[in-house]
């Protein structure tokens, strides 16, 4: 043994250190339990190191010196976190002589560079020699967790837990098991309720002028058709239930429910109520998300049943990288109005959208742009139109659980027949700006403020209006 240089001696002598449990912390999401550091062996010899000693005795001093230089260089790179450069050197040394320490360094370097199968091979070989290497077993559990092999991860971590580790390690194990439970959970649900007050500058969506020029003279609007300002109590309720049918990346089934009610304080004829339920399959892959929900919606206006809608809204989103995606949406809806006097409003609507998005700074900033086309075919052609639109949006999500959203939309609607009181087909140009600031509060509460502004310019003055709403809401998540 006197011929052994210092680095190979280190690799052998550390095998004689007394076994201890190492206190570890949750470092980041992809490594929920441990940070790699040296494993500790028991104060006993093993066949791997004994074989390594015998091989070294058969080598010439020059061969041993060469291996020692490679190991020295590999360790320098290893402790500088240059694992990709260190791994080939460790492998070259292991081809000639391999100790338990060298197996550990190879396994750790392989894990750090994404070569999980090699890391599993080395750590499993170490445990076959000495099943009591708990530090190695913790790293093996972490690898299985990263690979989505949660039951194998649970088996390894439970083995360490049964050995009665120190309290600090036990806490880490409990967090690790909780992370496995979360990843293997099949059902996910949430319910959010909010109550707010809204100031509406134009509850009737009526024109600013009461007297309008039309065919044959002047049209004077009634009190309920002109622009009316009012306040309303606004209630919204939304819920979601998602069932994972298999692995996390695969087939799921999702059900959504949403309810909205606006009750005006002075002009109840403008009250609006809507409830919508949609359900359908989801499929998620490493870079793709497909959703095919189908739903039913009921709408009330003036506290009476207005219409019901059947709709299907499939979408597909592809992530080129974690920062860039493109999403395609299609929506089909068929609406029926309850009053026979509104039968001409019954319609079938097709909507198509393409939305590229950028996700920056760990999704703190989300930028999206939308190009869309809508084709509404109503029973009455004067209510049918083709529309194309563009939209830009920005979402800011801060670590303080503060969110800010702003969007701008421009749309053009070309109606297929002239409306009543006019002798030309109607054309609308609409600008819409929306801004929402929300803050999550303790114990599930949240506070939000929203502004929505719409400017509808029409060649038919009856349909030209401006409307702004200002809403302050308090919400609660169950």
pLDDT tens column, 132-143? 899 899 999 999
Kindly provide the residue ranges of all beta strands, DSSP E only, lying in 339-464, ordered along the sequence.
347-360, 365-378, 385-397, 402-415, 427-440, 445-458
**Between these two residues, 265 and 2, which has the higher pLDDT value?**
265
Burial letters 340-350, b for 16+ CB under 10 A, else e: eeeeebbbebe
Residue 405, CA distances (Å) to 198, 246, 408, 441, 447 in order: 18, 34, 11, 18, 14
Is 38 in contact with 104 (CB distance < 8 Å)? yes
Residue 35 has pLDDT above 70, yes or no: no
Instruction: Tell me the pLDDT band of 349, cut-offs 50, 70 and 90.
Output: very high
pTM, two decimals, is 0.69
Residue 209: predicted pLDDT? 84
Domains defined for the chain, CATH in brackets: 6-184 (1.25.40.10), 187-477 (2.40.160.40)
Is 307 in contact with 335 (CB distance < 8 Å)? yes
Residue 124 has pLDDT above 90, yes or no: yes
Instruction: Tell me the pLDDT band of 11, cut-offs 50, 70 and 90.
Output: low
Lowest mean pLDDT among 58-62, 325-329, 441-445: 58-62
For residues 167 and 179, what is the distance between their CA atoms, to the nearest angstrom?
19
Residue 249 has pLDDT above 80, yes or no: no
Residue 44: predicted pLDDT? 57
Kindly state the average pLDDT of the residues 97-126. 94
Residue 15: predicted pLDDT? 39
SS3 assignment for 12-65: HHHHHCCCCCCCCCCCECCECCCCCCCCCCCCCCCHHHHHHHHHHHCCCHHHHH
Kindly state the average pLDDT of the residues 327-334. 98
DSSP 245-309: -SSSSSEEEEEEEEEEEEEESS-GGG-EEEEEEEEEEEEE-SSEEEE--EEEEEEEETTEEEEEE
Residue 8: predicted pLDDT? 55
Kindly state the average pLDDT of the residues 303-330. 96
Kindly state the average pLDDT of the residues 147-166. 91
Task: Work out the angle at residue 207's Cα, subtended by the Cα atoms of residues 203 and 211, and round it to the nearest 5 degrees.
Answer: 130
Q: What is the mean pLDDT of the chain?
A: 89
Residue 9: predicted pLDDT? 52
Residue 196: predicted pLDDT? 98
For residues 320 and 242, what is the distance between their CA atoms, to the nearest angstrom?
25
For residues 198 and 469, what is the distance between their CA atoms, to the nearest angstrom?
6
Residue 40 has pLDDT above 70, yes or no: no
Across the strands, what pairs with 346? none
Residue 211: predicted pLDDT? 84
Residue 20 has pLDDT above 90, yes or no: no
Residue 29 has pLDDT above 90, yes or no: no
Residue 117 has pLDDT above 90, yes or no: yes
Instruction: Tell me the pLDDT band of 181, cut-offs 50, 70 and 90.
Output: confident
Lowest mean pLDDT among 124-133, 138-147, 241-250, 460-469: 241-250
Rounded percentage of the chain residues whose pLDDT exceeds 90 = 72
The distance between the two most distant Cα atoms of the chain, rounded to a whole number of Å, is 115
Burial letters 204-228, b for 16+ CB under 10 A, else e: bbbbeeeeeebeeeebebeeeebbb
Residue 2: predicted pLDDT? 38
């Amino acid at each position: 043994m006197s011929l052994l240089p210092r680095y190979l001696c280190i690799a052998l002598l550390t095998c004689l250190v007394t076994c201890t449990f190492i206190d570890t912390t949750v470092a980041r999401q992809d490594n929920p339990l441990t940070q790699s550091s040296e494993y500790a062996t028991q104060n006993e010899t093993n066949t791997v190191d004994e074989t390594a000693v015998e091989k070294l005795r058969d080598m010439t001093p020059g061969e041993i010196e060469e291996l020692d230089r490679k190991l020295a260089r590999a360790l320098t790179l290893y402790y500088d976190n240059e694992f990709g450069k260190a791994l080939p050197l460790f492998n070259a040394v292991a081809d000639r002589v391999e100790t338990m320490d060298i197996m550990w360094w190879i396994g750790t370097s392989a894990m750090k560079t994404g070569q999980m199968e090699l890391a599993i091979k080395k750590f499993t070989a170490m445990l076959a020699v000495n099943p009591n290497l708990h530090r190695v077993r913790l790293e093996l559990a972490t690898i299985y967790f990263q690979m989505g092999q949660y039951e194998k991860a649970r088996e390894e971590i439970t083995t360490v837990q049964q050995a009665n580790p120190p309290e600090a390690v036990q806490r880490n194990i409990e967090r690790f098991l909780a992370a496995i439970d979360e990843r293997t959970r099949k059902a996910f649900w949430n319910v959010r309720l909010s109550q707010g007050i809204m100031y509406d500058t134009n509850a009737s969506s009526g024109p600013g002028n009461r007297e309008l020029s039309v065919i044959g003279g002047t049209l004077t609007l009634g009190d309920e058709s002109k622009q009316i300002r009012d306040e309303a109590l606004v209630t919204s309720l939304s819920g979601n239930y998602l069932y994972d049918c298999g692995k996390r990346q695969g087939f799921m089934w999702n059900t959504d429910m949403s309810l909205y009610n606006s009750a005006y304080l002075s002009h109840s004829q403008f009250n609006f109520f809507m409830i919508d339920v949609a359900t359908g399959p989801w499929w998620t892959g490493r870079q793709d998300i497909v959703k095919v929900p189908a739903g039913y919606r009921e709408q009330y206006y003036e506290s009476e049943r207005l219409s019901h809608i059947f709709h299907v809204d499939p979408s597909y989103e592809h992530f080129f990288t974690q920062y860039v995606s493109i999403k395609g949406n299609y929506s089909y809806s068929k609406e029926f109005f309850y009053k026979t006097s509104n039968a001409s409003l019954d319609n079938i609507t097709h909507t198509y959208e393409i939305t590229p998005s950028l996700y920056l700074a760990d999704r703190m900033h989300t930028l999206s742009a939308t190009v869309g086309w809508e084709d509404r075919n109503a029973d009455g052609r004067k209510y049918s139109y083709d529309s194309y639109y563009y939209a830009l949006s920005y979402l800011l999500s801060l670590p303080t659980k503060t969110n800010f959203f702003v969007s701008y939309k421009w749309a053009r609607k070309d109606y297929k027949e002239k409306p009543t009181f006019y002798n030309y087909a109607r054309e609308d140009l609409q600008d819409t700006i929306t801004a929402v600031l929300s803050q999550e509060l303790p114990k599930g509460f949240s506070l939000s403020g929203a502004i929505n502004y719409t400017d509808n310019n029409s060649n038919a003055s009856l349909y030209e209006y401006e409307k702004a709403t200002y809403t302050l809401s308090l919400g609660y998540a169950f």
